[in-house]
Structure 1
Amino acid sequence: MGTPVLFIHGLWLHASSWEPWVTRFQDEGYDAQAVGWPGDHDTVEESRRDPEAIADHGIDDVVEHVAGVIRGLPELPILVGHSFGGMIAQRLLGQDCARAAIAIDAAQIKGVLPLPLSALRATLPVFKNPANKHRAVSLTAEQFRFAFGNAVSEEESDQLFERWTIPAPGRPLFEAAAANFNPHSPAKVNTANQARGPLLLIASGKDHTVPETVTRATLKQYRHSEAVTDLETFPDRGHSLTIDSGWAEVADTCLKWLRGQSL
């Protein structure tokens, strides 16, 4: 068997959205699989029908869920996460639970201060009601277009929305928003770990949900570690870069980086 790779999705996307990536990585010899979040069902349709199962799971719940999958593997995996999945990947890497991690348009970790207006607008469907902390929240096609599909055509954005979106728990967003006021925040990552595996951060220049400034501020959080921390930027891409028609370019960039790290 090849080196295990776990793909971790973020809010509003189902694990099956990683299927093209799983196939691409398997073709390159990796033992790849996508991991769902607690409460996710096996399909998009089932997850949409049962939002209560998804509701009220926080960052720690997802970290422990993925850690449980890791404990069942024959060796430590490479983690590839998008959005909140990228935060989860960084936490687990900092805890020495992974050989390496790739965090794509990752949600901001504790210590990251920039809060661009576009990020506030993208997450408004959750924050407009404090009760959403304990609920699962769905996006409309219009909200998805702003938060994910702004760098692709409206037609493609609508197709991605129909194919991959599911309700998302509000709790992780509330936890991330309060991270810098909570010394024990679940969004805290051990960025000073000198012995961890290599990390690749990927930023998108047109991302409304996690603007490039957030990813660059995340990179600065790792300045006290001498472990490999690299940054790649896709200037013309938005938050949908892992699922839209340009996904293969991003996947191939990840594969090239892994080869460069002898992974």
Structure 2
Amino acid sequence: MPETPPSAQQSVVFIHGLWLHASSWNPWLELFRARGYTASAPGWPGDADTVEGTRMNADALNDVGIEAIYRHYARQLAGMEAKPIAIGHSFGGLIAQELLANNLVAAAVVIDSAPIKGVTALPFSQLKSALPVLGNPANRKRAVSLTAEQFRYSFGNAIRQEESDRLHQQWTIPGPGRPLFQDATANFHRHSPAAVDTHYAVRGPLLLTSGTEDHTVPKVVTQQVLKMYAKNESSVTEHLEFAGRGHSLTIDGGWPEVAESILEWVARNAPTGSGKA
């Protein structure tokens, strides 16, 4: 159980990343609600309400970029009575960092987050994970699906083949290619949408997490991001590693361990009952 219960029904907003539907957060929603939080998991712009619906209408995700995703969540948060806590996975982690830097959320947890502008590490496994999209320039403006084999390498490398295949069938949706192209070229654009103010923003607490066996976002990427935040001495930034875990750590059989660790951190660090700025 959390060390301290949430007060005033603290809200938590979950943000999914590329290739996973928002409903993949459902077990997390149930857990957080059982612990006293108000929890929701809105989809990206273009997502349908279900996995199957999104697969059938993949064109709705064509040319959806980082800016559109950020604005989509910023508009939804603007309608909330108090600033929530954001928990984002992969590209959802990048969006959570942007929301936190702009004082739209009270705190943020980013799980194996996509790189932000300034990261220079490019491990082979990260490049290979992105090749299904980046390998074809035409993918910049269209949605791309992962095959079971590609999902196995990018997400399911730390779990059994059978589980990886089941998760691929259960939760995967087409993902817009534009965010990956924007992220891959972020360091070459002065006003990249992947830029986050890591130095000067006065913000709530931030937890960066990484799976040690993640192919899509290897831990060296998160370690570089942590060093970027080290210059911001006025705000809390912490790091947590999950040994032996891959990019599927939010949806595979070990997700409760990850969720419990995050619940504990939230109870210790996140402001509760935060009003609007």
Fold match by TM threshold 0.5 = yes
Partner residue in 2 for 1:196:
203
Question: Aligned AA for 2:248?
Answer: S
Partner residue in 2 for 1:116:
123
Distance in 1, matches of 2:103 and 2:251, equals 28
Do residues 85 (structure 1) and 92 (structure 2) align?
yes
Partner residue in 2 for 1:245:
253
Distance in 2, matches of 1:192 and 1:70, equals 24
Partner residue in 1 for 2:239:
231
Q: Within 5 A, what are the aligned runs for 1:165-176?
A: 165-176=172-183
Distance in 2, matches of 1:105 and 1:215, equals 7
> Among 120, 133, 144, which residue is 1:126 paired with?
133
> Among 250, 254, 258, which residue is 2:262 paired with?
254
Give the fraction of aligned pairs with identical amino acids, expressed as a percent: 55
Partner residue in 2 for 1:5:
12
> Among 194, 209, 213, which residue is 1:187 paired with?
194
4+ residue segments displaced more than 6 Å: none
- Deviation at 1:55? 1.3
Do residues 148 (structure 1) and 169 (structure 2) align?
no
Distance in 1, matches of 2:169 and 2:270, equals 38
Distance in 2, matches of 1:123 and 1:50, equals 22
Contact 2:144 2:174 in 1 (8 A): yes
Secondary structure of the residue that 1:230 maps to in structure 2? strand
After superposition, what is the alpha-carbon deviation per residue over 1:90-137, rounded to whole angstroms, capped at 9, x for unaligned?
011001111000000000000011000000100110011101000000
- Deviation at 1:239? 0.1
Question: Aligned AA for 2:59?
Answer: E
Distance in 1, matches of 2:59 and 2:200, equals 37
Contact 2:205 2:270 in 1 (8 A): no
Secondary structure of the residue that 1:221 maps to in structure 2? helix
Q: Normalising by structure 1, report the TM-score.
A: 0.99
Secondary structure of the residue that 1:213 maps to in structure 2? helix
Distance in 1, matches of 2:245 and 2:42, equals 24
Do residues 107 (structure 1) and 114 (structure 2) align?
yes
Secondary structure of the residue that 1:238 maps to in structure 2? coil
Partner residue in 2 for 1:137:
144
- Deviation at 1:44? 0.1
After superposition, what is the alpha-carbon deviation per residue over 1:14-48, rounded to whole angstroms, capped at 9, x for unaligned?
00000000111111111100010000000000000
- Deviation at 1:262? 5.1
After superposition, what is the alpha-carbon deviation per residue over 1:118-159, rounded to whole angstroms, capped at 9, x for unaligned?
001001100111010000000000000000000000000000
- Deviation at 1:193? 3.2
After superposition, what is the alpha-carbon deviation per residue over 1:188-247, rounded to whole angstroms, capped at 9, x for unaligned?
001123520000000110000000000000101112212100000012000000000000
Distance in 2, matches of 1:261 and 1:223, equals 17
Distance in 2, matches of 1:148 and 1:55, equals 23
- How many residues are paired up? 263
Contact 2:204 2:270 in 1 (8 A): no
Distance in 1, matches of 2:260 and 2:247, equals 17
After superposition, what is the alpha-carbon deviation per residue over 1:144-176, rounded to whole angstroms, capped at 9, x for unaligned?
000000000000000000000000000000000
- Please, which runs of 5 or more residues in structure 1 have no aligned partner? none
Distance in 2, matches of 1:49 and 1:228, equals 42
